[in-house]
Amino acid sequence: MKEISITTKFSSYDSLNELPSDIQDLMDQAIAIRKKAYAPYSKFRVGAAILLDNGKIVLGSNQENAAYPSGLCAERVAIFQAGAIYPDAKILKMAITAASDTNTTSTPIPPCGGCRQTISEYEFKQEQPIEIYFMGEIGVIYKSDSLKNLLPFMFDKNFL
């Protein structure tokens, strides 16, 4: 047996004010759209804002459904909308924020597994990394330079 070791690296910002101004604006838009999420069941609201290489910003918030598998996460709402409206644009950066209606989320909340796989598809498709910034409702913001940092064993079309 051999052991392998995988190291990941994140940047950490103590507050929104510490972010570069373009990322602060992107996160502000994610926060605003998070407040419009449809989350009557989980009471957990997520907002995502994507910056494309054409300068456009695409937003998404989670959309729940009484038949739970029928809902969709904020990250995928934004990514699929970007892919539908701007199919040739590349995703440069993504800002994600999550908040609970029942308690304050103060630790960075990363994308779920399904969203990681979706982001990885676009990172693979566009052959360049996507910067991902994520936070709770308040507090520290983490930055990952690539989805591969969050999902080191990515599944892509090369396995098919």
* pLDDT, average across residues 55-80: 96
| Contact yes or no for 117/73 (Cβ under 8 A) | no
Phi and psi angles of residue 92, each rounded to the nearest 5 degrees, phi first: -95, -45
What pLDDT sits at residue 128? Answer: 95
Average pLDDT estimate for 33-44: 97
Residue 154 has pLDDT above 90, yes or no: no
Q: 112 among the known binding-site residues?
A: yes
Tell me which residues are annotated as active site: 75
Q: What's the CA gap between 130 and 75, in Å, rounded?
A: 13
User: What pLDDT is attached to residue 123?
Assistant: 94
Least confident segment among 95-99, 106-110, 155-159: 155-159
Query: Binding site annotation covers 66?
Result: yes
Q: Is residue 67 a known part of a binding site?
A: yes
- In 3D space, the residue among 127, 129, 134 whose CA is nearest the CA of residue 145 turns out to be 129
- The residue-averaged pLDDT of 12-30 equals 97
Q: What is the mean pLDDT of residues 108-130?
A: 96
Report whether 73 belongs to an annotated binding site: yes
Structural domains of the chain sorted by starting position, each given as residue range(s) with its CATH number in brackets: 11-150 (3.40.140.10)
What residue type is 1 in one-letter code? Answer: M
Residue 138 confidence (pLDDT): 96
| Burial class of residue 101 (count of CB atoms within 10 Å of its CB; 0-12, 13-18, 19+) | exposed
* Reported pTM: 0.95
Cα separation, 133 vs 124, whole angstroms: 19
